[in-house]
Amino acid sequence: MTQESSPDKGLKLTYFSKRPLECPVCRTEFFREDLLSGRGRLIAGRLTLELRRLYEPSKKYGAVYPLVYPVTVCPSCFYAAYPEDFLEIPAEALLPLEASTDARRELLLSIFPDLSFSAPRRLYEGVASYVLAMLCYEHFPADTAPTFKMGLSALRGAWLASDLQAQFPDEGWGLLVRHLYRKARFLYILAVEREQKGEEVLSRLKYQGPDLDKNYGYDGVLYLAGLLDYRYGPRSNREKRIASLMRAKQIIARIFGMGRASRHKPQVLLDNARDVYDLIRKELESLGADGGEPVDGSA
């Protein structure tokens, strides 16, 4: 079963662009696939603690995964980037992207043997597109905020890999899920650190996600950096766990002390941040460390 499957196979879920794109790395022309909107294709469900919007399967279209489509991928050389970056490769990134073509293809095809970005995408191509984006943004310069874009790609890839694991538990995607979440944790924390040092400026980005339904901005980046550190940080070593929790607590606390007054920030983000902050505080206390005071009266 794939996300293109639906009760009525005559219904269209996606479309391919009428005009071809030319890959700036290998000059292959191809057509980008996008999700059609409206007509009951997307039925919004709950928002997860990681700010992912889930969607209910519809009777007409079945399960739909909008995150399968945002990354533009060349079907020939597997160069991948978000649409705003795909055609605008910085000069210093072009040669490394060309030189790493074979490595990208070999790695992805070793994980997904029947991968195809010329046909309608499945969950497999969705996960692969984010892994490819991570590999490609490694070569982009600091003024494009590559660390954050790699982190966002790792997080979205983990979400879709979790969907694969849920649909096909016998295929063993759990290892990839854990790897992508750990990468997302590392990259989100690094992105925040680099932003604080002025090495990469996230405020220049129009959209920081993490999902497609709402932009939570830099507050959302801080929240996820703290949440991912809490959920996927070290656990076997007490000292390292305490250090990780202290960092996560400090990052999330910044949401309540930044710029706009808290009352102007999304309530769901503030509520989630308070809940996670409280979980971190209580775990620190259970480890014999100082958990600090609750934020904004949370108990």
Question: Which residue from 94, 107, 118, 89 is spatially nearest to 30, judged by alpha carbons?
Answer: 118
242-259, pLDDT tens digit by residue?
A: 999 999 999 999 998 754
| 172 CB neighbour count, 10 Å cutoff | 10
120-130, pLDDT tens digit by residue?
A: 999 999 999 99
At 89 the three-state DSSP class reads coil
> Which pLDDT value is given to residue 49?
97
DSSP for 126-179, please give it.
Answer: HHHHHHHHHHHHTTS-GGG-HHHHHHHHHHHHHHHHHHHHHH-GGG--HHHHHH
* Distance in angstroms (rounded) separating the CA atoms of residues 149 and 71: 11
Domain boundaries along the sequence of the chain: 14-207
At 190 the three-state DSSP class reads helix
Residue 58, C-beta contacts closer than 8 angstroms, at least 6 positions apart: 40, 41, 43, 64
Q: CA 247 → CA 48, 164, 225, 240, 287, distances in Å?
A: 22, 32, 10, 11, 15
At 65 the three-state DSSP class reads coil
Token representation of residue 140: 């982009």
Determine contact, residues 275/299, Cβ cutoff 8 Å.
Answer: no
Low pLDDT (below 70) residues in the chain: 1-10, 258-263, 295-299
* Distance in angstroms (rounded) separating the CA atoms of residues 25 and 105: 14
Determine contact, residues 154/96, Cβ cutoff 8 Å.
Answer: no
> Which pLDDT value is given to residue 11?
78
> Which pLDDT value is given to residue 167?
96
